[in-house]
Amino acid sequence: MNDNLISQEEIDALLNKNSKKNPEGLNELEKDIIGEVGNISMSTAATTLSSILNKKVMITTPRVYWESFEDVIKDFISPKVVATVEFKKGLSGNNLFMMDTPDAAVIADLMMGGNGKVESSEMTVLQQSAVAEAMNQMIGSASTAMATMVGKEIDINPPIVKVWELDEEYEIPGMDKSSFVCKVEFDITVEGLIESKIMQLFERQTITEIVGIMQSELEEEPKKEAPKEPIRESVSYESKKPEVTKVEENVLVQKPIFNELARSDDESRTPRNLDLIMDVPLEFSVVLGKSKKTIKEILSFGNGSVIELNKQADEALEIYVNGKLIAQGEVVVINENFGIRITNILSKEQRVKGLK
């Protein structure tokens, strides 16, 4: 017998070993559900990122894959900025959010007041903090959208953001090189500055829970039930009909008399129903002026910094009640305290327009 031949027992052992490495993959239904959840949650994240950067952000329909964690790492074409998200409530496991370092550098520059055109992809500590805040808000809004979709409260711990180099060893709780994960990949575009890909990685446990929740939601949809017929009780009647005695009575009918309503001569008197809310407290505030600053400018503030507002020195100040503009006025000093003298009260039409 040739010693180089492999026995059937060894072949079976090898197949069993490989089957343990690659657990049951995703079926088409699971891919559809994860794709739909990812589509809605990342669309919300794109809206959040767009408001942060003040740039138009587009994220395409997701592509869902089932790959080993080792193969995902091998596909890296550049260092990645990775946010590790641990589910605290509603779901179990970890969720990884990955972005290329050059793209993260552009986002950090935009958040710090730059134009997004960076020469180096190496990120400083300040830039990493800016990207961490952006990813924190994106993942937070995505988790909120996911919670709304699955009809269950989902809470996460603050994301841990790190830069993964290509030759590093990565240690993620619940994930090792032999683990298989669900990779959800998106194309992202940021208004002429970024055309790249971002991805999310989910553990099998998390995927199973999401699919289970979504399937139970579909199964528990109220079904239209046929109207139930009223229960008819069997009642036996005697064949003999009861005798009815007709009684005639004289009924006195007379015209009603009403007292005349007293007419009030004071039409300007406050309606009584308004008295019910006279003691309701309202927030009264005066706005001196406003100014819009970038994160970079705010971080440069110090003692003695002067901030220019959007009002001239002689312009009237705005008076708000519960956040609604109702009047204008000027600053006065009363017994060493600041006060406000009302110089103009908005008309009813102007106040009604302000409520919209």
Domains of the chain with CATH codes:
16-219 (3.40.1550.10), 280-354 (2.30.330.10)
Neighbour count for residue 34 (Cβ, 10 Å): 22
Radius of gyration of the chain (CA): 35
Q: What are 148-151's contacts with CB under 8 Å, separation 24+? A: 149/37, 149/40, 149/41, 149/214, 150/37, 150/210, 150/213, 150/214, 150/217, 151/213, 151/217
Neighbour count for residue 153 (Cβ, 10 Å): 10
13 pLDDT more than 50: no
Give the pLDDT band of residue 19 (cuts 50, 70, 90).
very low
Position 1 scores a pLDDT of 44
Residue 345 neighbours by CB under 8 Å, 6+ apart = 326, 327
Amino acid type, 146: M
Separation of alpha carbons 137 and 156, rounded Å: 12
Which of 2-6, 34-38, 335-339 shows the lowest per-residue confidence on average (mean pLDDT)?
A: 2-6
282 pLDDT more than 70: yes
SS3 73: helix
Residues forming beta bridges with residue 283, ordered by sequence position:
none
229 pLDDT more than 60: no
Give the pLDDT band of residue 126 (cuts 50, 70, 90).
confident
Position 258 scores a pLDDT of 57
Residue among 54, 2, 62 nearest 36 (CA):
62
Q: What digits encode the pLDDT tens for the residues 233-275?
A: 444 444 444 454 554 556 565 556 656 655 555 545 545 566 6
Give the pLDDT band of residue 98 (cuts 50, 70, 90).
confident
The C-alpha angle 305, 124, 104, rounded to 5 degrees, equals 105
8 pLDDT more than 60: no
